Structure 1
Amino acid sequence: MADESRGVNLVGFFRAEFGQGEVARRLAAALRHAGIPHTTILYEDIPHRQEHPFEAVDGDLHDVNILCLNAEHLIRFAESPAGRLLADRRSIGVWFWETSRFPDYLRPALKFVDEVWVASEFVAEAVRASTAVPVHVFPLPVEAPTEGAVTRSDLGLPDDRFLFSFVFDFHSTVSRKNPDGLIDAYITAFEPNDGAMLVVKSINGDKFRAGLRALESAAAGRADIRVVDGFVPRDRIAAYTSLADCAVSLHRSEGFGLTLAEAMALGKPVIATGYSGNLTFMDEENSFLVRHHLTELDREVGPYPAGSAWAEPDVGHAAELMRRVKTDEREAATRAARGRATIESEHSLEQAAGFLAARVPLLHDLWRERRRSSTPSQCASAFLTRGPQASWSQPSRLGGIGLVYRRLLMRLLRPYTARQREWEHVVVDGLRELELSVEKLHRRLDELERQRTGS
């Protein structure tokens, strides 16, 4: 029987149709598989469509939160009425980030979490460079999209062409996803009558009309390149991958690359830029990695700050690999089989459930230990939450006129008290980071001592 005292509150965009919503749903599945009691808490403050079916799990609240909210979303959550959930609980942020540098404007989110879980070492390195908060890489469960009864003709695609497929969301920053670079590579690789076809399936192009028009313009004059935008039923969006002969991505950076992992789970050969989070599950043996050179953003691009590293994929090499996959069926099938085996062994539901089964009890132990102790940063944080004992609204010795003068004084001082409040938060955050750094140093010293003694 499940121990209800060891349960978790799982917060996420459970009905949203984008990557992080899918991650929340898969973590819910992993918690069920592990037999861990949990309550799901739906959060909807996101511009994505929210029509994905999901059966919520109601129940009592637990002492541990798993928050499938990226840093920017967590800040909004914490500032909303729902943020009360964070009080007096141990909270874990499940975060994704897509470049080498974690930006300063997201650092305030770190004060709301006790540790961060990420799906790739690439993201872990970016976050660890910005904080002493513990960061753990967890095995994101990957499931092969269901292969239904949808056919190529249902999608308006020919049966006699070797089909390359790329699926993306315009909300994910089109310049990072680099679909125009993929179109360039395809045009370099094939003539219209070479028996190949490229389909670029996107969503939310209606919200980024200039980007969608530019993509359609890049494909103009080539009937063997299809740009298809818009939401379609779930079985049809899955079919764009399951009916393809090869999945391709010439991204400039990825936090993980869930659609690539799903294609590998289906046993498809995958071509992708050999950089960033997709190297968690891709290598030269199980996929086709595109050569690249690193560049540095000289300006802010979407949410990504100047100074971040991006890869510039080699279009010529990508074209070479696309031709190779089309002509050498044996090599493509061999690597595809290895790719499927990698996903099944390293990113299964069982792997994720095992991680949760081992980690969640420890989180409860850490929470109880924290409640028994009281560090300087915890005391200071509690003071900021409760405020001073003396209230601006307490009775005045001067009666009503005293309250009027006090309110007037409070209004005059508001710019200065707001600045004081900001400074207090900076001091408390700095104190917490210092304590975490000391804890991290102690853990490292303990590890070195064990290595020295061989214990």
Structure 2
Amino acid sequence: MTPWRTSERWRFLRDRALMEKKARDLAVLFEQERARLVSPRRDEPPAPPFDPYDDADVLDSAGSDFGDVFWPPFDAASVVDAGSAARFIIDVLRSRKDLRLRFPDAFSALDGGDFGRWIASDAGRTELGVSAEGARHLVALLASDPAARARQFFLSSTEVRAALPHGLMPAGRRSLFKWFVRHARDGASLSIEEIWWLFLQATEDPQGELCRAYLFTAEWQRLFPDGLTVFGWPAFAGWVRATYGPENLTGASPSAPGHLRPEIQLRAAYWARPAWRAAHPDALADAGSARVFLDWLVSGGDVESGPQARTWCSGLDAEQVSSELPSGPVNVIGHFCYPSGLRVSVEALVEAMACQGIRASLRDVRTDPRDDPRHVRFDGLETGGVTIIHVQPEPFFAEVYARADLAERVPRTYRIAYWYWEFDSIPQSWCDHAAHVDEVWVATEFIARGLRERLTIPVRTLFPGVALAPFQARSRSYFGLPSERYIFLFTFHMMSVMERKNPLGLIRAFQKAFRPDEPVTLVLKTSFGDRHPEQFEELRDAAAGIPAIKIIDEVYTSDEVLSLMNTCDAYVSLHRSEGLGLTMAEAMLMGKPVVATGFSGNMDFMDEDNSLLVPYESVTVGRAIPPYEADLEWAEPSVEHAALALRRLYDDQQWARELGARGQRSAMKFLSLEEAGRRIAGRLTEIESLRRDLGLRA
């Protein structure tokens, strides 16, 4: 209330007033949509859809000033980066109907399509008046899906999607565009170009948006579990027409959109129809039974299926579909877009199954707005008989289907939880979560021992396999690292509990091992330091005044992480406990000598011959560090022995390279995806036999 705080106070009041106004506007928008759904349109003529090519309609829909939606005109010579490339393409296609007719998927072809190839040609460059360098920016932009972040923000905005699940369909675009322009840009740091691209993409592909709306709206999936099949489409399309208006079916096939493969359509419809399961309980058991089931559908055995469905069935390759129908996919729900070891693990699991010819239906579990904007690409339905939920018990397991935007299949699948843990005892809440699955898979025996003591369901050790993904080899200068020094690397995630990862112990060992004047560098690569400011400040304080220690706090792509590892000379982990030790496995596969605490999950693939193991003492955590309780035990690695190990690698670099080669040979044998796939396939076969003995089906 003092005079010198008046300006700050006014800024606070102004910002609060703006936030309250936005909240009121948003509430009005939601109420309008809810009211419309309560009294759905029937015989009323549909309102004209949002027209992104009409400036007046755009401004009216946005309810904003010209400068909030448009930008000043500029010529082709101004195309110098991704932002200017987006503005140029949007302006060109909005102003030239001839190009829109010539390239109807210019915005929605994720690989650039014919439009991108035309721009790259001499004819395209000449007609548009862009330079070769400008054309490269345009082509690169078209191949990058500029709408991805805006779409991801919409998919992660649960309150908005509850009111506007049809937001990218014709009937919802006007309201959703207004929300994006007036409310979403500040919260998501989206550019207006990204928003434009999303709506132009949706306008080009109304049928695709209808399919995506279904695939990512669990309530629709529950109402119409086979809505995108030839069998369920008439009921679903009728509901869409009555609820949201006929314009939302523009361009849609009269029988079904064709988004799903034939065997997936048949599986989805089979699980949605008790009468089918009663008439053909063995339809998914083998190819012969599947063929009998298919012939029954063709002959009209199911009286409820209309003539279009029977015609569709008769046009199928009966032999191929009958062979594919029994071997349904394994449903996998996991963190495919969250930059973490969990993503690497679930990707490896899927790749290992693929090595054995096991197909997978994939769903991403949303965790954070900063997830990679690829959630929409993981659109598999739960049509297989087995579901692997590769998600930790805390904090998302209880809401995993909601975060995957997926309706649970009825009847329920055989559920397998894939969990990681770092101690020999699990929290009670894990037992509660285990009551909702049929068995648990873990990566290492270290994890398995702790779970088996508390759980009554089977716990299987099935290593997911580890393989180095292709990565771009980059120079040290790309990461700001010196070229002539011996580099030790440790990578960790601040979200994985810094005390467990123990970089402070590594800093002490490094200081003990080397003099300040020696040409040695320790790189500590972390991410999400802003989420844990106290711990990150502690890390920076520990490294302060030590020029040889470099801290990198950035979210790297998996390609960049492996590229960074490739530039280092040795890898070090003085962890207190690890469920698996993925980064150690990756370093070994890369042929790097590895120094690591001789405790926990990494001991499934590390020994005295293929790595340098640091001795430790067992100690209690000592204080509660969520999710860890104070009385749990983990390792306290010896700083003195770690320093000696670092010193040995530096002093005898030829021996260090030989150690790395031994580790690489060992890792390639034990960690292979092919071997992991064989073990996983074996267990899935056992589960299938068990379910058949119990009278259940895949």
State TM-score, norm by structure 2: 0.51
**Higher radius of gyration, 1 or 2:** 2
Q: Which stretch of structure 1 is more off in the superposition, 295-304 or 193-202?
A: 295-304
**Over residues 130-162 of structure 1, what are the superposed CA-to-partner deviations in whole Å (9 max), with x where a residue is unaligned?**
112111111221112545231101111111110
1:316 to 640, 652, 655: 640
Structure 2 match to 1:9? 331
1:249 to 560, 567, 573: 573
C-alpha distance in structure 2 between counterparts of 1:106 and 1:117, whole Å: 14
1:74 to 393, 397, 401: 397
Residue 365 of structure 1: how far off its partner (Å): 2.1
Structure 1 match to 2:342? 20
**Over residues 334-359 of structure 1, what are the superposed CA-to-partner deviations in whole Å (9 max), with x where a residue is unaligned?**
22112111221111111122122222
C-alpha distance in structure 1 between counterparts of 2:681 and 2:356, whole Å: 6
C-alpha distance in structure 2 between counterparts of 1:307 and 1:82, whole Å: 38
Confirm or deny that 1:140 pairs with 2:464.
yes
Structure 2 match to 1:41? 363
1:48 and 1:328, CA in 2 relative to 1: closer, same or farther beyond 3 A?
farther
**Over residues 17-69 of structure 1, what are the superposed CA-to-partner deviations in whole Å (9 max), with x where a residue is unaligned?**
1111221112221222211132112221x248311768546466111111111
C-alpha distance in structure 1 between counterparts of 2:609 and 2:407, whole Å: 45
Contact 1:65-1:86 at 8 Å conserved across structures: no
For residues 101-180 of structure 1, what are the structure 2 equivalents within 5 Å? 101-180=425-504
**Over residues 387-431 of structure 1, what are the superposed CA-to-partner deviations in whole Å (9 max), with x where a residue is unaligned?**
xxxxxxxxxxxxxxxxxxxxxxxxxxxxxxxxxxxxxxxxxxxxx
Residue 86 of structure 1: how far off its partner (Å): 7.9
Structure 2 match to 1:51? 372
C-alpha distance in structure 2 between counterparts of 1:206 and 1:172, whole Å: 14
Q: Which stretch of structure 1 is more off in the superposition, 62-71 or 331-340?
A: 331-340
For residues 49-448 of structure 1, what are the structure 2 equivalents within 5 Å? 49-51=370-372, 56=378, 58=380, 61-72=383-394, 73-77=396-400, 82=406, 84-85=408-409, 88-371=412-695
1:275 and 1:36, CA in 2 relative to 1: closer, same or farther beyond 3 A?
same
Which structure features the higher share of strand residues?
1
Q: Which stretch of structure 1 is more off in the superposition, 291-300 or 234-243?
A: 234-243
C-alpha distance in structure 2 between counterparts of 1:298 and 1:49, whole Å: 33
Contact 1:274-1:292 at 8 Å conserved across structures: yes
Contact 2:332-2:387 at 8 Å conserved across structures: yes
Contact 1:16-1:52 at 8 Å conserved across structures: no
Residue 295 of structure 1: how far off its partner (Å): 0.4
Residue 92 of structure 1: how far off its partner (Å): 0.8
Contact 2:352-2:464 at 8 Å conserved across structures: no
1:279 and 1:326, CA in 2 relative to 1: closer, same or farther beyond 3 A?
same
1:83 and 1:124, CA in 2 relative to 1: closer, same or farther beyond 3 A?
farther
Give the structure, 1 or 2, with the largest relative contact order (CA under 8 Å, sep 6 or more): 1
Name the aligned partner's letter for residue 64 of structure 1.
V
**Over residues 59-109 of structure 1, what are the superposed CA-to-partner deviations in whole Å (9 max), with x where a residue is unaligned?**
661111111112223223268774624852211111101112111122111
Residue 66 of structure 1: SS of its match in structure 2?
Answer: strand
State TM-score, norm by structure 1: 0.77
Structure 1 match to 2:97? none
1:89 and 1:260, CA in 2 relative to 1: closer, same or farther beyond 3 A?
same
1:245 and 1:223, CA in 2 relative to 1: closer, same or farther beyond 3 A?
same
Contact 2:472-2:563 at 8 Å conserved across structures: yes
Residue 357 of structure 1: SS of its match in structure 2?
Answer: helix
Residue 163 of structure 1: SS of its match in structure 2?
Answer: strand
Residue 320 of structure 1: SS of its match in structure 2?
Answer: helix
Contact 1:86-1:112 at 8 Å conserved across structures: no
Name the aligned partner's letter for residue 256 of structure 1.
L
Contact 1:8-1:37 at 8 Å conserved across structures: yes
Residue 200 of structure 1: how far off its partner (Å): 0.2
Name the aligned partner's letter for residue 108 of structure 1.
D
Name the aligned partner's letter for residue 31 of structure 1.
M
C-alpha distance in structure 2 between counterparts of 1:87 and 1:295, whole Å: 47
Contact 2:339-2:557 at 8 Å conserved across structures: no
Contact 2:333-2:364 at 8 Å conserved across structures: yes
Q: Which stretch of structure 1 is more off in the superposition, 268-277 or 299-308?
A: 299-308
1:262 and 1:16, CA in 2 relative to 1: closer, same or farther beyond 3 A?
same
C-alpha distance in structure 2 between counterparts of 1:32 and 1:241, whole Å: 27
C-alpha distance in structure 1 between counterparts of 2:431 and 2:407, whole Å: 17
1:83 and 1:368, CA in 2 relative to 1: closer, same or farther beyond 3 A?
farther
Q: Which stretch of structure 1 is more off in the superposition, 68-77 or 263-272?
A: 68-77
Task: State percent identity of aligned pairs.
Answer: 34
**Over residues 317-345 of structure 1, what are the superposed CA-to-partner deviations in whole Å (9 max), with x where a residue is unaligned?**
10000000111123322221121112211
Name the aligned partner's letter for residue 293 of structure 1.
E
C-alpha distance in structure 2 between counterparts of 1:86 and 1:368, whole Å: 18
Name the aligned partner's letter for residue 612 of structure 2.
F
Contact 2:473-2:566 at 8 Å conserved across structures: no
**Over residues 291-337 of structure 1, what are the superposed CA-to-partner deviations in whole Å (9 max), with x where a residue is unaligned?**
11000233321201232111001001100000001111233222211
1:78 and 1:144, CA in 2 relative to 1: closer, same or farther beyond 3 A?
closer
Name the aligned partner's letter for residue 457 of structure 2.
V
Residue 239 of structure 1: how far off its partner (Å): 2.1
Structure 1 match to 2:231? none
C-alpha distance in structure 2 between counterparts of 1:32 and 1:59, whole Å: 18
1:145 and 1:215, CA in 2 relative to 1: closer, same or farther beyond 3 A?
farther
Name the aligned partner's letter for residue 363 of structure 2.
I
1:150 and 1:48, CA in 2 relative to 1: closer, same or farther beyond 3 A?
farther
- Structure 2 unmatched runs, 5+: 1-319
C-alpha distance in structure 1 between counterparts of 2:471 and 2:372, whole Å: 21
